[in-house]
Amino acid sequence: MAADTSDVTAGFGQVSRTAGRVFRALLLAATLFGIVFVTILLLYVANDAIQPLTADPGWHLTFFLTLVVPTAGVGAFVYRRSQAAFQTGMLALGFVAVALLFSGGAAMLFIDIVRPLTWLAVVVALAVPAAIAVGVTAYDQRLPFLARFGVTTAAFYLSLFGLPGPLGTVASWLSQLGLPIPLGATLGSVRLVPSVVDVVSGVPVAPAPWLMLVATVGGPIGVVAGHAVARDRGRRARVAASSAFLAVVAVAGVVGPAVGVTPVPAVVVAAVGVVPPAAYAADVAVNAPRERVGLAVPATVIVGSLVGAGIVSVVGLAGPQSWVDWAFLTSAHSTNAESAGFYPSIGGSILLMLSVAVLAFPVGVGAAIYLEEYAPDNWLTRVIDVNISNLAGVPSVVYGLLGFGLFVTHLNRPAGTVLIGGATLGLLILPIIIISAREAIRSVPEAQRAASDGMGATKWQTVRNVVLPRSFSGILTGTILALGRAIGETAPLIMIGAPTIKFSLPTQVSETVTAMPLQVYAWSSLYATPDFYTKVVPAGVVVLVTVLLAMNSVAIVLRNKYQSHD
Amino acid sequence: MPADDAERTTRTRRQVLAGMGATGAAALAGCQSTSSEDPADDSLSGTVDFAGSSTVFPLATTMSEAFRGGDTGEAHPDVNFNPKSTGTGGGFANHFCTGNADLNNASREVRDAEAQQCTDNDIEPVEFTVATDALTVIVNTDLDIDSITVDELRSIWSAERDTEQWSDVNPDWPDEPLELYGPSSASGTYDYFIESILHGGDTELTHISGGSYTGTEQDRTIIQGVEGSTNAMGYLGYAYYSKSDDRVKALAVDDGDGEPVKPSLETARSGAYTPLSRPLFTYAAKSSLAEPAVAAFLRFWLEHATSEAIVADQVGYVPLSQEAQREQLDALTEAIDAAGSADE
């Protein structure tokens, strides 16, 4: 035994902490390496874009006194009283910023892309069959499943497309290919039964556009917000809260013109940018008395900014000569660097993200559910499994080629359109959505599935009632992060022939589109004046990164909420 | 919930009627005729797709911007543009001759093979001269050389000569290695440089067969490369040089008559700056000229092709002379008439 001990001691050698410390320092360096470099770069870029040093010292002083000092004071006070309240306050602050950002995007949609009447028509066309579907479900016991399914599908089809609709177009294609279809050739062009969309958008007299938006955008958001605030205080409280939020939206439409904002954007900004954070604040104030004090943080920031802005404009202190200004956000590209703007690219990116989400989300989540819940464990599913992971690593330029080959060359669609861009980027992030959705589905505890099975639920009922509700926020988180990758992609858009520069926004999915990274690339490569690559490009990068961070922050909040439920 | 039910039953018919009446009145008050939202129909609308040379791209987008914006008196905000910068050859092969673009900008004339590809797809290209470009040979501002002959350029840039050092070309020059910067072989600028300097005799520039060449589409990188090294030489379009003329030095070029000429708007237009000034083109698909938007844009472009303010000051090329403009406009009118009658 004694010999063993001495052997061990000899093998252990001299004891020193130096090696461990060096190792630890190296690990820390590895952790910080990327973060530090990217942060420094972004600071440089933001400095070039915003030029904070060009502001009057008085401007800095004013905001330091009205914004920075009070916020620091109030923040420290709240933090010392309750950390939970401080967190709530910061969340509310982030909520305000992100909601206002998103409301800008939504306002853009209704100003330049979708006519409010068309939007109303689509909303009505979706609401009518949805109501029919709910009505049919009431006859759950008496009608067989196929009958209910048939009625619901027919109602949606009639409402959205009318007769013969896209099926008629398909029939006329097939008859051109020589298939014997009665009346085939004419089906593509005639219209037997108009759709609800056609009927509504064809009415000769309609409410003012902003009133339509109050009803169709403010209504649903108001109802959701009202329910969140009223919780289970009964019907009367819910109606009162919802009406109050709806009233805020309607008032914005009336007051907007008085302060120089046209009614349509005023209504959208109120509905998307003001009501949700207000509902969050009201919810905290009413339902979480212990965290109520946290709301002082966003209140201080908002009041401080407004007071600071007021003082600065009254005294006449010049702010920084930022390249990211209102004109940059709302005008199109120009050969002259001073008047070059980002508007068509911002709108294009939003449209692309919407079409990517619409196309890739159902497919990706469907695949994830199948692979996790239904797929048998055999060699085929294992091959699929491995290849989905491989697909996630395929370079984006290859997806661009795929998109061009498939949609433009093979299916002969016009190049560079919203639809093709969305489909190509959708293919690109599909594997990421599948992988993250599978992760979320897998994290639903097996015991819950077993409990559902034990109560006699079918597989479908378990998936619908247990698995999907439990994993939904996780799935959403993964999807948003995947969209964050898609919004920064340039190569696939170049490959599918998206125009380098656009002067206007597309109003249909079959029109061409450009995106933020593509525009930044064009500015940095095709326009050689120093103002372009030292000022306009950083300004574009700042906007792109801000949008990306806003999207990611939504994902992070969702994930935290989701983890705290476990 | 029972409380809710009680609430619902106690609501009287009068209350319901009053509520419905108020809502209806409010909705009616906000009603308006939907037809007033339609834009005026007499304005020109349509889409102009163009692809092609990155050299012509800034000129073409500046013209589209002016055409839409109305700084020059007419405004066509409903005409959409889809500009793509693909390089002259890429534009012909992938966009124009496949019928996906109305116009293809070119920094050289269309090649026979490209014209053939267009003809195979029933696309008839119509050529218009839109400006003159001057290629500029640049060196570092610290280098003590001010002019160069075409022969010297040839021995520096040709892949078939063996020049490594400045002193290999001219014994008066430094004993330093040559660093060469220029556009990649996909660029029309590259083709034009070969044509004018190598006279088609040699087929490649030094840098393609190796050597110290840095091929890039980005003219800015060429400027940066030359700015950063006293041993560097590069060539690029006059537009790019003129915007950075404080960072690099342009060499005067002697085409063999012993009189070096500095590149400038004047010397290029007058034809004194040879052989490195060249015409820039745009090719229109004849069938596209039947579209009012394309025809109107092209007419606008040619009408403003003599504008110093747009072509020279904003983009940096040499504007057309009045005479050349008249010729091009006549050709356009003829082509539009022909396209219109073919369309009927």
Pairwise CB contact (< 8 Å): B83 & A501 = yes
Q: Residue B105: its pLDDT value, please?
A: 92
Mean pLDDT of B250-279: 84
Mean of per-residue pLDDT scores for chain B: 79
Is residue B65 domain-resident? yes
Say yes or no: B266 and B138 in one domain. Answer: yes
Q: Is the dihedral of CA A52, A57, A60, A63 positive or negative?
A: negative
Q: What is the CA radius of gyration of chain B?
A: 29
Residues within 8 A of A (CB atoms), B 128-187 only:
none
Q: Which two tokens stand for residue B92?
A: 């012909």
Round to whole Å and give the CA distance between A81 and A355.
46
Is residue B14 domain-resident? no
Choose the mutation target among A198, A210, A262, A500 for the interface with B, i.e. most B CBs under 10 Å: A500
DSSP structure string for B29-66:
HTEEEGGGGSPPTTS--EEEEEEE-TTTHHHHHHHHHH
Pairwise CB contact (< 8 Å): A526 & B58 = yes
| Residue ranges for chain A with pLDDT beneath 70 | 1-13, 140, 179-190, 528-530, 562-566
B267 close contact with A: CB closer than 8 A: no
Environment class of A29 (CB within 10 Å of its CB; exposed 0-12, middle 13-18, buried 19+): exposed
Of A206, A500, A522, the CB nearest to B34: A206
Choose the mutation target among A117, A335, A510 for the interface with B, i.e. most B CBs under 10 Å: A335
Round to whole Å and give the CA distance between A368 and A500.
35
- Residue B221 to residues B142, B225, B238, B328: CA-CA distances in angstroms? 19, 6, 15, 35
Say yes or no: B271 and B282 in one domain. Answer: no
Mean pLDDT of B328-334: 92
Q: Residue B138: its pLDDT value, please?
A: 92
Residue B130's closest CA among B315, B272, B291? B315
Round to whole Å and give the CA distance between B291 and B297.
10
- Alpha-carbon gap: A522 to the closest alpha carbon of chain B (Å): 9
Round to whole Å and give the CA distance between A473 and A440.
8
- Alpha-carbon gap: B30 to the closest alpha carbon of chain A (Å): 5
Residue B81's closest CA among A487, A449, A502? A502
Q: Residue B12: its pLDDT value, please?
A: 60
Round to whole Å and give the CA distance between A164 and B292.
34
- Alpha-carbon gap: A189 to the closest alpha carbon of chain B (Å): 24
Say yes or no: B212 and B181 in one domain. Answer: yes
Say yes or no: B324 and B229 in one domain. Answer: no
Mean pLDDT of B29-38: 52
Residue-wise pLDDT for B155-172, tens only, equals: 888 777 677 888 888 888
Choose the mutation target among B65, B217, B244 for the interface with A, i.e. most A CBs under 10 Å: B65
Say yes or no: B269 and B237 in one domain. Answer: yes
Q: Which two tokens stand for residue B13?
A: 């018919």
Q: Residue B15: its pLDDT value, please?
A: 63
CA atoms within 13 A on the CB side of A308: 22
Alpha carbon B199 to its chain centroid, in Å, reads 25
Say yes or no: B212 and B79 in one domain. Answer: no
Q: Which two tokens stand for residue B30?
A: 């906000």
Say yes or no: B222 and B301 in one domain. Answer: no
Under the phi-then-psi rule, with left for phi > 0, alpha for psi from -120 to 50, and beta for the rest, what region is B218? beta
Q: Helices (H) and strands (E) in chain A — how many of each?
A: 28, 1
Is residue B253 domain-resident? yes
Residues A88, A89, A95, CA angle at the centre, nearest 5°? 90
Say yes or no: B138 and B266 in one domain. Answer: yes
> pTM score, two decimals?
0.80
Round to whole Å and give the CA distance between A243 and A336.
48
Residue B73's closest CA among B304, B321, B276? B304
- Picking from B253, B277, B301, the residue at the C-terminal end of a domain is B277
Round to whole Å and give the CA distance between A5 and A3.
5
- Alpha-carbon gap: A283 to the closest alpha carbon of chain B (Å): 22
Give me the amino acid identity at A159. S
pLDDT band at residue B31 using 50, 70 and 90 as cut-offs: low
Environment class of B78 (CB within 10 Å of its CB; exposed 0-12, middle 13-18, buried 19+): middle
Residue A43 contacts by C-beta under 8 Å, 6 or more apart in sequence?
none
- Picking from B277, B306, B323, the residue at the C-terminal end of a domain is B277
pLDDT band at residue B37 using 50, 70 and 90 as cut-offs: very low
CATH number for the domain harbouring residue B109: 3.40.190.10
CB A320 within 8 A of CB A50: yes
Round to whole Å and give the CA distance between A436 and A400.
23
Ranges of H-type helices in B122-237: 150-157, 166-169, 188-193, 219-228
Q: B271 or A79: which carries more pLDDT confidence?
A: A79
- Domain assignment of residue B332, given as a range: 46-132+278-343
Round to whole Å and give the CA distance between B173 and B183.
25
Q: Which two tokens stand for residue B26?
A: 């409010």
Round to whole Å and give the CA distance between B262 and B251.
7
Pairwise CB contact (< 8 Å): A204 & B244 = no
ipTM: 0.74
Q: Residue B182: its pLDDT value, please?
A: 82
Q: Residue B211: its pLDDT value, please?
A: 45
Say yes or no: B154 and B60 in one domain. Answer: no
Is residue B21 domain-resident? no
Domain ranges of chain A: 2-50, 74-325, 337-565
pLDDT band at residue B208 using 50, 70 and 90 as cut-offs: very low
Round to whole Å and give the CA distance between B227 and B207.
19
* CATH architecture type of domain A337-565: Orthogonal Bundle (1.10)
- Alpha-carbon gap: B77 to the closest alpha carbon of chain A (Å): 9
Residue A270's closest CA among A287, A284, A291, A254? A254
Q: B206 or B44: which carries more pLDDT confidence?
A: B44
Q: Is the dihedral of CA A348, A352, A355, A361 positive or negative?
A: negative
Strand-pair partners of A205? B33
Q: Which two tokens stand for residue A439?
A: 């992760």
Of A336, A504, A528, the CB nearest to B220: A528
Residue B263's closest CA among B241, B231, B244, B230? B241
Say yes or no: B140 and B217 in one domain. Answer: yes
Mean pLDDT of B52-69: 87
In chain B, which residue's Cα lies nearest the Cα of A416?
A: B82
In chain A, which residue's Cα lies nearest the Cα of B243?
A: A529
Residue B315 has pLDDT above 90, yes or no: no
Round to whole Å and give the CA distance between A398 and A386.
19
Pairwise CB contact (< 8 Å): B81 & A500 = no
A239 close contact with B: CB closer than 8 A: no
Q: Residue A101: its pLDDT value, please?
A: 92
Give me the amino acid identity at A455. M
Under the phi-then-psi rule, with left for phi > 0, alpha for psi from -120 to 50, and beta for the rest, what region is A331? beta
Round to whole Å and give the CA distance between B43 and A305.
44
Ranges of H-type helices in chain B: 2-10, 13-29, 57-69, 88-90, 112-120, 150-157, 166-169, 188-193, 219-228, 238-243, 265-270, 292-303, 322-343
Residue B32's closest CA among A114, A117, A268, A198? A117
A117 close contact with B: CB closer than 8 A: yes
Say yes or no: B115 and B139 in one domain. Answer: no
- Alpha-carbon gap: B62 to the closest alpha carbon of chain A (Å): 6
Domain count, chain B: 2
Residue B200 has pLDDT above 60, yes or no: no
Q: Residue A197: its pLDDT value, please?
A: 83
Q: Is the dihedral of CA B106, B110, B114, B115 positive or negative?
A: positive
pLDDT band at residue B1 using 50, 70 and 90 as cut-offs: very low
Is residue B19 domain-resident? no
Of A208, A416, A530, the CB nearest to B82: A416
* Neighboring chain B residues of A418 at a CB cutoff of 8 Å: none
Give me the amino acid identity at B127. E
A501 close contact with B: CB closer than 8 A: yes
Residue whose pair of structure tokens reads 């938007």 in the numeric block: B293
